[in-house]
Amino acid sequence: MQDFQFYTPTMVYFGKHMEQRVGSVLKEHGYSKVLLHYGQGSVIKSGLLDSIKTYLDESHIAWIELGGVEPNPKIGLIREGIELSRRESVDMILAVGGGSVIDSAKGIALGLANGKDSVQMQREQLMPTHHFPIAVVLTISSAGSEMSSSHVVTDPETHTKRGLSHDVLRPDFAFLNPELTFSVSKYQTACGIVDTMMHTLERYFTEQKDAPLTDTIAEAILVSVKEAGIIAINNPSDYQARATLMWASSLSHNGLTGCGKTAFFPAHKIEHDISGLFDHIAHGAGLAVIFPAWAKYEYNNDVEKFARLAVKVWDIAYDEEHPEVTALRGIEAMSNFFSAIGMPRTLEELGVPKESWETLASMTTNNGSSSLKSYRPLGKREILEIYHLAT
């Protein structure tokens, strides 16, 4: 096991009605004015946003609001939020929503604390140094951004979708009430199931072979998500299933399943350019197509680990003479599971035309000048081969 640092400063309030504590908790910690940041209407229609405003009013916390966050959050709204928050002198960003809203809130906080937004930092190859307070009321179990150190932002001018990770981006408070996810559609629930699994799997498949405890934790999360996912798809109001998915979302991306290992996230990076260019594509749906294709391309480089996943998570019998057969059966079982919960299998189903493959592979590899870290470097040619396996 490699040496590692594990830092999770987020204070989590988990359970029924926990969002009702948002005003009292923020007041207790000395905050007086927040930016309420949210998406395109679901929190308004459900009445949740008005409830949050009431909880803040009751605790005498002033608020201003900025809605309109889109899936694959855009840098333009983040920049608007930075200017608004500076002008209004807020001392906390309060995200009410899912991963896109939280990532947008992180982008605003990043700009307020460091004087540059994430797109500027990436262009100038800078890393943040200061933190601005963030709180989250979570409404979708998916991205894990409520405890993670990362956020992903889309720049519509360049059609690029890039992530930036640093511990200053970890939220201070997360209010997690599984009941708030009962109304999430089956499709978005399925996207969240895939995203949670991917955050775990991209840390599971690494070159390190000496982190058995970390791998066992990852397997437990994957099995729990698989079992709870089927229940939640069929019975959206099952509290225990929704609670499992919500907590798994947080644990999958707070760093726990990567302790003692070095993760590269190649499938995520490939998918980011797909949903960056084709903005209608949900991140989880894209990963449901790309990750199995990546696995088929790479499994020969770590046959025993892929076979272990097949046995531990997908209930495949181990073939001692042909472990590669076990590995492939596990990949197929994973793909079948994604399909069973309503996810696409192919790039065509995803709405990605073959004519775009060259453009996408060039975006991911900086016009062929760079490669992604994986079991072996993934340059433009290798990424095109993965696209072929995703058909």
Sign of CA dihedral 353, 357, 359, 363: positive
Residue with tokens 């229609």: 45
What's the pLDDT score for residue 62?
98
pTM, two decimal places: 0.95
Say how many residues make up the chain: 391
CA dihedral (212, 213, 216, 217) positive or negative: negative
d(CA 84, CA 352): 37
Rounded CA-CA distance 85/238 in Å is 38
Please tell me the number of Cα atoms within 13 Å of 138 on its side-chain side. 32
pLDDT tens readout for residues 214-229: 999 999 999 999 999 9
The Cα–Cα gap between 294 and 267 comes to 7
Query: Which residues in the chain come in under a pLDDT of 50?
Result: none
Tens of pLDDT, residue by residue over 62-84, are 999 999 999 889 999 999 999 99
DSSP structure string for 104-121: HHHHHHHHHHHSS-HHHH
Of 369, 360, 187, nearest to 276 by C-alpha is 360
Q: What is the pLDDT of residue 72?
A: 87
Helix (H, G, I), strand (E, B) or coil at 258: helix
Domains of the chain and CATH, by start: 11-181 (3.40.50.1970), 186-389 (1.20.1090.10)
Burial class of residue 315 (count of CB atoms within 10 Å of its CB; 0-12, 13-18, 19+): exposed
Cβ(39)–Cβ(97) below 8 Å: yes
Chain Cα centroid distance, residue 74: 16
Using DSSP, state whether 160 is helix, strand or coil. strand
The predicted-structure confidence for 92-148, as pLDDT tens digits, reads as follows: 999 999 999 999 999 999 999 999 998 999 888 899 999 999 999 999 999 999 999
Q: How far is CA 260 from the centre of its chain?
A: 21
